[in-house]
Amino acid sequence: MTKGCPMPQYVVLIHSDPEAADPPTDEERAAHDRHAEELAGSGSLAIAYALGPPGEAVAIRGGTASAGPLRSSGPQVAGFCVIDAPDLDAAVAIAHGNPAARAGAGVEVRPVEGGGVLRH
């Protein structure tokens, strides 16, 4: 359990394959927004962000920075959210509601081990 949180937290990594998919439509973006609003309304959502395109990433490895994501092809992390859930099974059930999971882009659920700093 993350310090200061009433129950365990899980990160939901939202993946997409920019080479295999068209950019999200307004309708798809709206579905993601509705999902986030539902999670926030239920008290499960701690934080959520969509990420910029992989082509705008800078990867740093071995002290060297290079343009682009760490992985040059295949699925990329397109966004993430941190949710509160009593256990992994409940977190997975919540993640099943993510439009990316239903559309085949894929989501990954991992426990948050602890630590964490949030600055406003």
pLDDT level of residue 120 (50, 70, 90 thresholds): low
With respect to residue 103, please indicate whether it lies within any of the assigned structural domains. yes
* Per-residue pLDDT tens over the stretch 54-91: 889 999 999 999 998 888 777 889 899 999 999 999 99
pLDDT surpassing 80 at residue 7? yes
With respect to residue 101, please indicate whether it lies within any of the assigned structural domains. yes
With respect to residue 2, please indicate whether it lies within any of the assigned structural domains. no
**pTM of the predicted model over 0.95:** no
Given a contact cutoff of 8 angstroms between Cβ atoms, the answer to whether 78 and 16 are in contact is yes
pLDDT given for residue 104 in this prediction:
67
Domain that holds residue 44: 9-111
Length of the chain: 120
Going from the C-alpha of 43 to that of each of 4, 16, 75, 97, 120, the distances in angstroms are 15, 26, 29, 15, 20
Domain count along the chain: 1
What CATH number did the domain enclosing 49 receive? 3.30.70.1060
* Per-residue pLDDT tens over the stretch 82-92: 999 999 999 99
